[in-house]
Amino acid sequence: MHQDDVVVELVNVSKEFWRDKIEIPVLTNTTLHIPRGDFVAIMGPSGSGKSTLLNLCAGLDRPTTGHVIVNGQDLGELSEARLSKWRSENLGFIFQMYNLMPVLTAQENVELPLLLTPLSRAERRK
């Protein structure tokens, strides 16, 4: 598979959390390649690491070890400021409880966070 065809790549990613001096491994040496255009469902029981995986791919959390690469950008190479800018330009989440604003249309709800960016109205609508 050509590198340009991969939109999300995890290379030997591990993520551990600590609670009361106890290490809790969530992901261990995980390698994943998601080709551009693929539909992927992340499924598993509660506590299996689904949200942790998504948070890593979104740059909301950093891996303990390994690399998270999205559209060719290794998120671990970005400072917190650059990562924040990257998220604002490249990422959107729709949560299970999506809490849309009932007075807005679906398009206006999607456009709402883009009001915080320097994008023009035409760019936001695109």
Give the CATH number of domain 3-90; options: 3.30.420.40, 3.10.105.10, 3.40.50.300, 3.40.50.620: 3.40.50.300
Write out the H or E segment, with its range, that includes residue 65.
strand 65-70
Question: Can you give the pLDDT of all 126 residues of the chain as single tens digits?
Answer: 556 799 999 999 999 999 999 999 999 999 999 999 999 999 999 989 999 999 999 999 999 999 999 999 999 999 999 999 899 888 877 666 677 888 988 888 888 888 888 888 888 787
Q: CB under 8 Å to 76, separation ≥6 — which residues?
A: 62, 63, 67, 68
Write out the two tokens for 120: 């023009």
Domain ranges of the chain: 3-90, 98-126
In sequence order, the 6+-apart residues with CB closer than 8 A to the CB of 30 are: 10, 12, 13, 14, 53, 66
Nearest to 93 by CA among 40, 65, 54, 62: 54
Cα(4)–Cα(72) distance, rounded to whole angstroms?
A: 8
3-state secondary structure of 87: helix
